[in-house]
């Protein structure tokens, strides 16, 4: 089980760590018996086990790291899961079906849980889909567009799909990885958090 990142605020700083310390790493005020101004919040882990995410688009880091900037042409490996979590992914030697190896990746769910007829057909669509593509990303996107067509929906361009569904998740994942790395090295990752504007009573 991986450690999860938590965040709390003190000294006008946002402090990220794996455990809330006994005292503030900035001002050394002891937290024992006193309340933090804001309850620590846990930062959701953006990575999940792809094999447990049926009917999803997956992005796996290559070489164990995510690239800082994802343009859709980078060498991140992508795939599509069937209803049992087997990952169909396009490689130079053809489409592979992986039952293992996608345990830590970013997952974009492609169907709503109540889309029964689509889920029913999903594996058949995936098995019959063997378009020649030049990389795993265009293969995955072509499959998504094929499914959209069966639903009478218009297809998505690579840019649309990347910008709306992939890039925001990659950014979150990159930041999360950076936090974990920093905290592992220094126990804390501390960033400036300027005092909030005075409440005007209307803000949420």
Give the shortest CB-198-to-Zn ion separation in angstroms: 21
Among 5, 7, 10, 162, binds Zn ion (CB under 5 A): 10
Which residue, chain included where needed, has tokens 């001002």? Answer: 27
Stretch that binds Zn ion, among 5-13, 30-38, 68-76, 181-189 (CB under 5 A): 5-13
Q: Quick one: which segment of 25-33, 98-106, 118-126, 175-183 binds Zn ion (CB under 5 A)? A: 25-33
CB 8 within 8 A of CB 40: yes
Helix (H) or strand (E) holding 158: helix 158-161
Nearest in space to 164 (alpha carbons), one of 75, 57, 10: 57
Residue 181 CA from chain centroid, whole number: 17
Query: Judged by CB, which is closer to Zn ion: 11, or 167?
Result: 11
Do residues 156 and 144 lie in contact, with contact meaning Cβ atoms separated by under 8 Å?
Answer: yes
Nearer to Zn ion, 10 or 77 (CB): 10
Residue (27 or 100) nearer to Zn ion, CB: 27
Can residue 20 be called a binding residue for Zn ion (CB under 5 A)? no
The Cα–Cα gap between 193 and 9 comes to 8
Candidates 11-19, 59-67, 147-155, 181-189: pick the segment binding Zn ion (CB under 5 A).
11-19
Spatial distance between the Cα atoms of 179 and 141, rounded to a whole number of angstroms: 30
Q: Which is nearer to Zn ion, 4 or 12 (CB)?
A: 12
């Amino acid at each position: 089980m991986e450690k999860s990142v938590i965040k709390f605020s003190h000294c006008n700083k946002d402090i990220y760590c794996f455990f809330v310390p006994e005292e503030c790493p900035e001002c050394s005020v002891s937290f024992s018996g006193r309340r933090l101004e804001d309850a620590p919040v846990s930062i959701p882990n953006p990575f999940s086990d792809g094999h447990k995410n049926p009917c999803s688009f997956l992005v796996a880091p290559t070489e164990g790291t995510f690239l800082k900037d994802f343009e859709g042409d980078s060498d991140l490996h992508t795939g599509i899961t069937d209803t049992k979590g087997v990952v169909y992914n396009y490689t130079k030697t053809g489409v592979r079906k992986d039952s293992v190896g996608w345990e830590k990746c970013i997952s974009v769910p492609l169907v709503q849980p109540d889309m029964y007829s689509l889920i029913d057909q999903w594996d058949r669509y995936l098995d019959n889909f063997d378009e020649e593509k030049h990389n795993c990303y265009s293969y995955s996107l072509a499959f998504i567009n094929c499914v959209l067509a069966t639903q009478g929906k218009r297809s998505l361009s690579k840019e649309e799909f990347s910008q709306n569904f992939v890039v925001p998740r990659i950014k979150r994942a990159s930041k999360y990885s950076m936090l974990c790395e920093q905290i592992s090295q220094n126990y804390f990752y501390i960033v400036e958090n300027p005092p909030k504007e005075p409440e005007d009573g209307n803000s949420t």
